[in-house]
């Protein structure tokens, strides 16, 4: 697979704060990076995974400016977004924040993207607020899979009240270079695909977050919230929510993903009513970062298919 990617500026898509009011809840501030599209580009919103940030999407955003006017959000407590005043790091809390952002900015329905935790968040938004989502693109979405696996077990431990803060603090104690190297080894099939620019940005982000008093809590609490939803049964379970998604859905899995197994792809195909599922060879957990050109190609097909479906509906 090609690992070519666009050359980005030193600070790709500078961040801006967006303040949100939430009915019955404390106000929330989210940091958002924007890649304004060309004339006629359609609105898109992208949601990162556990421990990630809006920077996880900048390569793909740059490649799609002719089709999409993209915004990538930092979830509460991640990236440049401050922690939520009510300490709500649950999956529902993250989904409410994303849905409210779409509402406040008046850009819906959007092409909604999610990676890992962001995939679970995007699925929740699409299930409960279908009017806000035109299409759904999920890259290695964190949907319940309780089969044993070394790295899935470690993430589960991160979610526990006892081991979560301990593991988070041990992680924070490593040097930025060590942390980034370990993270890239975990989420990339081939860490050598990472450019020097990407590595430098990642190390700078690690140094910045190491100074934040809430960084450990945001990571552990969000992992705990995700695990709680993994164990949820009934109509609120994530797989049941997937069956309620009406938006055309593209699911991309990495064959060499250490965190989300591609073996769950058939279950995802059966759960989402209108889904296209692709397993990408030589790809890890962050396909949009590791192989942005490959992901771009599938996204364009997905957008074309949705547009053709809309056109047929208008002619009916």
Full DSSP string of 93-153: HHHHHHHHHHHHHT--SEEEEEETHHHHHHHHHHHH-GGGEEEEEEES------S--HHHH
Are 73 and 30 spatial neighbours (Cβ–Cβ below 8 Å)?
yes
Q: Which residue has the higher pLDDT, 249 or 229?
A: 249
Which run of H or of E encompasses 160? none
Sheet of 25-35: strand order equals 15-22, 25-35, 68-74, 42-47, 110-115, 133-139, 249-254, 275-280
Query: Which of 143-152, 217-226, 238-247 shows the lowest per-residue confidence on average (mean pLDDT)?
Result: 143-152
Q: Is the pLDDT of residue 74 over 70?
A: yes
Are 40 and 66 spatial neighbours (Cβ–Cβ below 8 Å)?
no
Three-state secondary structure call for residue 54: helix
Q: Which of 100, 32, 22 is nearest to 70 (CA)?
A: 32
pLDDT computed for residue 3 by the predictor: 42
**Whole-number Å distance between alpha carbons of 229 and 232:** 5
157 band by pLDDT with thresholds 50, 70 and 90: low
Q: Which of 91, 156, 80, 88 is nearest to 118 (CA)?
A: 91
Give the mean model confidence (pLDDT) for residues 90-104.
97
**Which residues on neighbouring strands pair with residue 254, listed in sequence order?**
280
pLDDT computed for residue 176 by the predictor: 84
**Whole-number Å distance between alpha carbons of 97 and 29:** 9
% of the chain with per-residue pLDDT over 70: 87
Q: Which of 106, 120, 150 is nearest to 242 (CA)?
A: 120
14 band by pLDDT with thresholds 50, 70 and 90: confident
Are 72 and 14 spatial neighbours (Cβ–Cβ below 8 Å)?
no
Give the model confidence (pLDDT) of 166-222 as tens digits: 666 677 677 888 889 988 999 999 998 888 888 888 888 888 888 899 988 898 889
Those residues whose C-beta lies under 8 Å from the C-beta of residue 232, and which sit 6 or more positions away, are: 238
Give the model confidence (pLDDT) of 32-65 as tens digits: 999 988 999 999 999 999 989 999 999 999 999 9
What are the extents of the domains in the chain?
A: 15-145+232-315
Distances (CA, A) of 223 to 70, 89, 276, 293: 26, 9, 28, 30
Highest mean pLDDT among 177-191, 229-243, 253-267: 253-267
CATH topology (fold) of 15-145+232-315: Rossmann fold (3.40.50)
**Which residues on neighbouring strands pair with residue 28, listed in sequence order?**
20
Q: Which of 161, 168, 169, 162 is nearest to 224 (CA)?
A: 161
Those residues whose C-beta lies under 8 Å from the C-beta of residue 39, and which sit 6 or more positions away, are: none
309 band by pLDDT with thresholds 50, 70 and 90: confident
- Taking the CA atoms of the chain, what radius of gyration do you get in angstroms? 18
What are the backbone angles phi and psi of residue 38, rounded to the nearest 5°?
-75, 175
pTM for this prediction: 0.91
% of the chain with per-residue pLDDT over 90: 64
Half-sphere exposure of 201 (CA within 13 A, CB side): 22
pLDDT computed for residue 206 by the predictor: 86
**Which residues on neighbouring strands pair with residue 74, listed in sequence order?**
31
Are 36 and 65 spatial neighbours (Cβ–Cβ below 8 Å)?
yes
């Amino acid at each position: 697979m090609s690992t070519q990617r666009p050359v980005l500026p030193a600070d790709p898509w500078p961040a801006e704060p967006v303040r949100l009011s939430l009915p019955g809840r404390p106000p929330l501030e989210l940091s958002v990076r924007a890649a304004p599209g060309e004339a006629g580009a359609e609105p898109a919103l992208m949601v990162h995974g556990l421990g990630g940030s809006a920077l996880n999407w900048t390569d793909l955003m740059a490649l799609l400016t002719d089709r999409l006017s993209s915004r990538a959000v930092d979830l509460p407590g991640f990236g440049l977004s401050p922690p939520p005043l009510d300490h709500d790091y649950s999956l529902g809390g993250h989904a409410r924040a994303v849905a409210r952002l779409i509402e406040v900015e008046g850009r819906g329905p959007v092409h909604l993207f999610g990676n890992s935790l962001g995939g679970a968040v995007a699925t929740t938004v699409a299930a409960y607020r279908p009017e806000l989502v035109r299409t759904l693109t999920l890259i290695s979405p964190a949907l319940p899979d309780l089969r044993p696996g070394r790295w899935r077990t470690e993430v589960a431990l991160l979610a526990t009240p006892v081991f979560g803060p301990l593991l988070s603090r041990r992680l924070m104690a490593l040097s930025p270079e060590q942390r980034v190297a370990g993270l890239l080894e975990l989420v990339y099939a081939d860490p050598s695909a990472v450019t020097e620019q990407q590595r430098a940005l990642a190390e700078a982000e690690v140094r910045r977050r190491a100074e934040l008093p809430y960084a450990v809590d945001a990571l552990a609490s969000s992992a705990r919230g995700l695990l709680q939803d993994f164990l949820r049964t009934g109509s609120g379970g994530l797989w049941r929510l997937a069956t309620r998604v009406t938006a055309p859905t593209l699911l991309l899995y990495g064959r060499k993903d250490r965190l989300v197994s591609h073996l769950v792809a058939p279950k995802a195909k059966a759960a989402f009513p209108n889904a296209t599922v692709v397993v990408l060879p030589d790809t890890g957990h962050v396909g949009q970062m590791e192989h942005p050109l490959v992901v771009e190609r599938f996204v364009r097909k997905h957008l074309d298919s949705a547009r053709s479906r809309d056109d047929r509906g208008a002619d009916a």
